[in-house]
Amino acid sequence: MRVQSFIGKASVEGLHQMDHLINDWIKRTRPKILQITQCPCSTTRHDGRDQETIIVVTILYQESEV
């Protein structure tokens, strides 16, 4: 079993970008997906002033046998 994680901003544009990344990864690797989880998280920006919400999507999979 392997794991692949994706992180994106919790905004409409951020989710569309993450969708594109995930779909592209699936198309390239053709994994057998076993489980997908997602979790919203808060993170502090590098300058320490603001917090932003991000989404972490984790995919547990087996590599393709092709």
Taking the chain (66 residues) in runs of 10, the rounded mean pLDDT of each run is 94 95 96 96 77 93 84
Do the Cβ atoms of 29 and 63 come closer than 8 Å? yes
Whole-angstrom Cα distance, residue 21 to residue 27?
10
Residue-level length of the chain:
66
Report pLDDT for 2: 95
On whether the CB atoms of residues 60 and 30 are closer than 8 A, the answer is no
Q: Three-class SS of residue 5?
A: strand
